[in-house]
A = this chain, B = another copy of it.
Amino acid sequence: MGRTSNAGKRLLEVAFDLIHDHSYGSVSVDQICSRARVNKGSFYYYYKSKTALVVAAYEERWRLKEPDYERVFALDAAPLERLSRWCEYVRSTQRERFRRYGHVCGCPYASVGGELATQDKKIQRTTQNLVERHVRYLAKAIEDARDGGDACVADPLKTAELVHSYVIGLLLRAKIYNDLKVLADLETGVFALVKVNPEKNPRH
């Protein structure tokens, strides 16, 4: 079976970290290779292009993070509680990255999508896909909130898209200002968009 290696996996991790910390355009294949301690030749043994690596890296990242989403949106919590936990999850993720990288990094999927949507169809498709998976979790929670009388929305999916837009915008704003305080009102905004029945707000 030949020799074994985890160089491919290492490249995925390093690529995600580096690109999320900086940007696709400002991170070179050489940088990714040297940080992952993989030679350039090996890089192209595993991935046919920089684009292909990025697609794989972001899909792998989601695969790793999906269990967190399953937990945050677990059906045993009340719908509004799920949304509330998600807001806190987003903020704590950003706090952690701020500590690690020294600045606000924003939403990784939206960042790479925004940078490359008009450049690379494969990456565009990938980010669309990733966005959709996020939105599905939101939509389910919003639908349940509506059915339970906690929120007043007509179309849960549309509202989920609305909420998602708001959140990636807020993350982008936090990145531009490099300030986590921008995220302080995350939940307020989310709850305003799902028109939460005030007395049902879990933060009462």
For A165, give its contact among B101, B116, B166, B195 (CB under 8 Å): B166
For A169, give its contact among B23, B118, B165 (CB under 8 Å): B165
Residues of A at the B interface (CB closer than 8 Å) are 21-26, 101, 103, 105-106, 110-111, 113-119, 124, 127-128, 131, 158, 161-162, 164-170, 172-173, 175-178, 182, 185, 188-189, 192-193, 195
A124-B178, A165-B166, A189-B165 known; A23 vs B173 contact (CB < 8 Å):
no
Q: Give the CA-CA distance A188 to B194 in the complex, in Å.
A: 12
A165-B166, A172-B110, A173-B164 known; A118 vs B131 contact (CB < 8 Å):
no
Q: Give the CA-CA distance A106 to B168 in the complex, in Å.
A: 13
**Contacts beyond the supplied A24-B25, A169-B169, A193-B193: 6 A-B pairs with Cβ under 8 Å:** A101-B118, A114-B175, A162-B166, A165-B173, A169-B172, A192-B195
16 A–B contacts from the bound complex (CB under 8 Å): A21-B118, A103-B118, A110-B176, A114-B172, A115-B115, A161-B173, A164-B169, A165-B169, A165-B170, A165-B172, A165-B173, A167-B169, A168-B172, A168-B173, A172-B172, A192-B192
Q: Cβ of A178 and Cβ of B25 under 8 Å apart?
A: no
Q: Give the CA-CA distance A25 to B114 in the complex, in Å.
A: 12
Q: Cβ of B176 and Cβ of A117 under 8 Å apart?
A: yes
CB distance from A51 to the nearest CB of B (A): 12
Closest B-chain residue to A193, C-beta based?
A: B192
CB distance from A124 to the nearest CB of B (A): 7
Residues of B near A21 (CB, < 8 A) are: 118
Q: Give the CA-CA distance A193 to B188 in the complex, in Å.
A: 10
Q: Cβ of A176 and Cβ of B128 under 8 Å apart?
A: yes
Q: Cβ of B131 and Cβ of A173 under 8 Å apart?
A: yes
Q: Give the CA-CA distance A134 to B105 in the complex, in Å.
A: 23
Closest B-chain residue to A192, C-beta based?
A: B193
